[in-house]
Amino acid sequence: MAGITYEVDDKNVVEKIKSDAANAAAELVDAAHLKKGDIVVIGCSTSETLGNQVGSHSVPEVGKAIYEGLQSIFGAKGIYIAAQCCEHLNRAIIIEHEAVPNAEIVNVVPQPKAGGSFATACYAAFKAPVALEHIKANAGIDIGGTLIGMHLREVAVPVRLKQNRIGMAIVIAARTRPKFIGGERAHYDESLKEGYV
């Protein structure tokens, strides 16, 4: 795929990206057994989505399309999106305040070149957006190799999605589950093997 890029002024490309995002979200909801109140961290490179190198071509229209696609699935189920900012904001999180009412808030407003187009779109769309330095999400989607692991609960388990690209970007997803402790004599609650309750 090297050397191939999408043109964002093609409305079909934007709609395809939005559809890809919705498909990935729907798959993750099922695979991770997500429920109302859960948090999904999303790392997103709009540059990679259009076939460019991460950090080189931030496109607000694409960030908005990805948000709308994801939110069409997550929002309908009461699942919160935690948007991971780019490295220029130390991978801070943008999230709805109601999802984290007691969290320690930091002061930053993401921009396309300092936070990223996806986080910027989320900040604009959320009812009461706040920024956090850290979160421990129930699951996550990494769009374009943005490294979301620092914001996932232990233990992260890879989820292979059929929708393994959004636009041109590779998609890697994860769910989390509680740690198994106690060694060979321990007994486990089988219902927790799939994820958090």
Span 45-99, pLDDT tens digits: 999 999 877 766 788 999 999 999 999 999 999 999 999 999 999 999 999 999 9
Q: What is the residue range of 112's domain?
A: 11-192
- Rounded CA gap, 39 and 146, in Å? 18
Domains identified in the chain, total number: 1
Please report whether residue 30 resides in a domain: yes
Give the tokens for residue 38: 């859960």
Q: How many C-beta neighbours within 10 Å does residue 60 have? A: 17
Task: Give residue-wise pLDDT tens across range 112-171.
Answer: 989 999 999 999 999 999 999 999 999 999 999 999 999 999 999 999 999 999 999 999
Give domain status of residue 4, yes or no. no
Task: Kindly state whether residue 5 falls inside one of the protein's structural domains.
Answer: no
Contact yes or no for 42/82 (Cβ under 8 A): yes
Angle between helices 60-74 and 117-125 (to 10 degrees): 60
> Quick check: 6 pLDDT over 60?
no
Q: Residue 184: its pLDDT value, please?
A: 80
Interval 40-49 mean pLDDT: 96
What CATH number should be reported for the domain holding residue 31? Answer: 3.40.50.10360
**Mean pLDDT along residues 9-14:** 82
Residue 3 lies in a domain: no
Which among 2, 6, 15, 21 has a CA at the least distance from the CA of 118? 21
Q: How confident is the model at residue 1 (pLDDT cuts 50, 70, 90)?
A: very low
Q: Is residue 179 part of a domain?
A: yes
| In-domain check, residue 105 | yes
